[in-house]
Amino acid sequence: DVHLGLYCLFICVAGNVEFFLNEVPTTIEPFCLYAISPETIIKPKSKRDGTILKVLCFTKDFLLKNNFKSSALDDFRFFANSNFNKIGLTQEEVSSILQLYDFLSTKKDHSQSVYHLEIIRSQFYAFLYEAQSIYAKDFTRTQSNRKRENELNQKFNELIKTQAILQKNLKFYADALYVTPKYLISAIKNASGKTPGVLIDEAIIEEAKQALVHTDLSIVEIADRLQFTDIATFSKFFKRYTALSPSAFRKNFQRS
C-alpha cells in the first residue's frame, strides 16, 4: 500500500490501469481527470503495457510558500468533497488540461529565465483553477442529469402502476416517456438501483399478491387477469420473486 501524503491530479492519456483506492477497486479510464487527497491509500491492482499517466502532485505547504492563502484548498472542491474524485472531460477540456500540463513539464527543467519561478507558479495556479472550472461544470452536468433521471424514475413508476399488467414491453414505456429504451434503462438504474424490467415485474408481483390475499379469484383466473399465457408460466414467475408458489403464498397468508 502507498500513502502518498500529497494532493494529486492526473489524467490517463493511453491504456488503462487499475488501483485499489482506499480499498475500493477503481479503473482509471482514459481522458478523465482524477483528484486524490493526501488521505488516500493507493494499492496497484493491474496495468496494461503502454499506459501513460500525466501526474501533478503537490503539498499544502507548497501552496502556502508560494503566496497562496491558507484556505486555498477550499476553492478546489475536487479535493474537498472526498478523498478521490473523477472528473469527466469533454474533448475541449482534455486539450486545455494537457496544454497546461505540457507547459509545466517543459518549464520545470528550464530555469534560464529570471522569471522562471514566477512562470511556473502562475501556470501551476492556472492548472488548478482550470481543473476547478471543469469540475464545477461537470458537477452541474451531473446534478442536472441526476435530477432528470429522478424525475423520469418517478414518471416511470407512476406509469407502471396502471400499465404493468397490460404492458411488459420496455419500448412502450420508453415511447410513452419520450426517451430511448437504452436511456430509460440507464436512467432508471441510476435513480433506483434496479432495471425497468425488474420494477415492472415487481409491480406485477404486487398485483398478484393483492389478488391472492384480497380476492376469491382462482389462481387460473389471476394468471389470466395478469396476462400470463398459462398457470405454469405464472407460477414460475411468482416463485422466482417470492420463493413460494401462488397457492402456497395464499395458504401462508390465510394461516397467519
Write out the E strands in the chain.
Answer: 2-3, 7-14, 17-21, 24-28, 32-36, 41-47, 52-58, 84-88
C-alpha cell at 198: 425488474
CA distances from 47 to 18, 30, 42, 91 (A): 6, 13, 14, 24
Which residues contact residue 15 at a Cβ distance below 8 angstroms, ignoring those fewer than 6 apart?
Answer: 30, 47, 48, 49, 50, 51, 52
C-alpha cell at 189: 438504474
Which residues contact residue 130 at a Cβ distance below 8 angstroms, ignoring those fewer than 6 apart?
Answer: 96, 97, 100
User: pLDDT digit string (tens) for 156-172?
Assistant: 999 999 999 889 899 99
Which span out of 54-68, 84-98, 211-225 was modeled with the highest average pLDDT?
Answer: 211-225
Mean pLDDT of the residues in the chain: 85
User: pLDDT digit string (tens) for 85-122?
Assistant: 888 888 898 998 999 888 888 766 555 667 777 788 88
Report the predicted TM-score, pTM, of the whole model to 2 decimal places: 0.57
What pLDDT does 87 receive? 83
User: pLDDT digit string (tens) for 64-81?
Assistant: 776 666 566 666 777 765
User: pLDDT digit string (tens) for 115-147?
Assistant: 777 788 888 888 888 888 888 887 788 888 889
Percent of the chain with pLDDT strictly greater than 90: 39
| CA 179 to chain CA mean position, Å | 20
Q: How many helices (H) and strands (E) does the chain have?
A: 10, 8
The secondary structure of residue 30, as a DSSP letter, is B
What pLDDT does 18 receive? 86
Q: 207 and 226 in contact (C-beta within 8 Å)?
A: yes
Residue 199 to residue 142: CA distance in whole angstroms: 24
Residue, of 209 and 24, whose pLDDT is higher = 209
